[in-house]
Amino acid sequence: MIVADLKEGMLLLPAKGRCWGISNDKKLGCKRIYTFTFTFSDEIINNSPAVYLGKISLKTPVHRLRTYHKLLFEGELFLTDGYEFYRGIDPL
């Protein structure tokens, strides 16, 4: 999937063989969502859909990026970078 195909309200899932991961990003000051390849040793494999809410542009870069994308996942707002869509997020 490419970022240009995203529309607000679109449902998204991790690509086949991947699942959601969540981390606290101190530089961004919020939670960040990403995808990763899971193995049988991973305890939690969460493939619930996320809702795309649009993008935000920052005045100063964080992690060398100015643009982040907002996803609503399990009732919480998360940010992700556009590279995640190339690596492992597909439309539902």
Q: How many domains does the chain have?
A: 1
Tens-place pLDDT, residues 11-32: 999 888 888 888 888 888 888 8
The reported pTM is: 0.83
pLDDT of 69 higher than 70:
yes
Name the residue range of residue 85's domain: 3-91
Report DSSP letters for the chain, one per residue: --GGG--TT-EEEEPTTEEEEEEEETTTTEEEEEEEE--TT-S------EEEEEEEEEEEEETTEEEEEEEEETTEEEEE-THHHHHTEEE-
